[in-house]
Amino acid sequence: MLIFHLGPLASSLFSLLAILALVLSFVMLGSHWLKNHVYAFSAESWVIAAISASIGYYGHYPELYLIAALSALFRGTLLPYLVLRLVKRLNINREFTPLLKPSSSMLLGAALVIFSYEVARRLGIALNLADNIAVLALTCMFSLKLIGFLMMILRSEAISHILGLLVIENGIFLGSQIIVPGMPALLELVIIFDLVTIVMAFGMLVRYLQSHAGTTSSRGLQKLVG
């Protein structure tokens, strides 16, 4: 729960940043170019880092400054760099076999946001969360998680699956920063380092698939099954 009262300026700032993070996830849904996905994820991570720093300032949680700096460094810089390096090595620039067109994907994403809002609103009523920021944070958290799942379902390239997983984790991180700002900093640090490990492991797996199976597309791999 939010454990500090926000003024109008802070509420507007958090609302703007949370909505901006959500909009950036739609940039990923609306494009088939992998580099656009990575840049949007990087920008989304920087926005979430800004949310952490803002909560640290307004809520008097000095440990969140460290979390914000590490988020910007790892989520916003190192992880996108590793994924871009992978994209360059594999020489795969875009999704060639998505299940839906970008416009249809964005419409489906919008439906998921509406569904997330309804779930967040009902949850807010059940938990007596009168603060609109809490409902907005829950909406963004559920929306990012569902959009991340959507990317993993609709896209076939392994790199898109990695980014979908990272978007899901960004959603969890965004919600926890606003709703439970006192979450132990050590746990946040473990999650960040786990993400780096996961991306590196995925990177090695994708390169192995490319060299031994000749494709990193999940549909291409299904065709190899006898």
Q: Which of 44, 47, 53, 38 is nearest to 157 (CA)?
A: 38
d(CA 35, CA 22): 18
β partners of residue 94:
33
d(CA 187, CA 201): 21
Look-up of token digits 């940039």: 27
Q: CB–CB of 70/36 below 8 Å?
A: no
Q: Which of 165, 25, 28, 24 is nearest to 94 (CA)?
A: 28
The residues, any chain, with a CB within 8 Å of residue 131's CB and separated by 6 or more, are 2, 6
Per-residue confidence (pLDDT) for residue 112, from 0 to 100: 92
Per-residue pLDDT of the chain (226 residues; tens, 9 = 90+): 554 566 777 778 888 888 898 899 888 888 878 888 889 989 998 998 898 888 888 878 887 888 888 888 888 888 888 888 888 877 777 776 667 788 888 889 899 999 999 998 888 788 776 667 778 888 888 999 899 888 888 887 777 888 888 888 888 888 777 777 666 666 666 676 667 667 766 666 666 666 666 666 666 666 655 5
Rounded (10°) CA dihedral 189, 193, 194, 199: 140
Quickly count: other Cβ atoms within 10 Å of residue 187's Cβ: 10
Quickly count: other Cβ atoms within 10 Å of residue 147's Cβ: 27
Quickly count: other Cβ atoms within 10 Å of residue 148's Cβ: 23
d(CA 13, CA 49): 13
d(CA 103, CA 72): 30
Q: CB–CB of 179/139 below 8 Å?
A: no
Look-up of token digits 């460094």: 73
Q: Determine phi and psi for 71, rounding to 5 degrees.
A: -65, -45
Q: Which of 172, 164, 174 is nearest to 202 (CA)?
A: 164
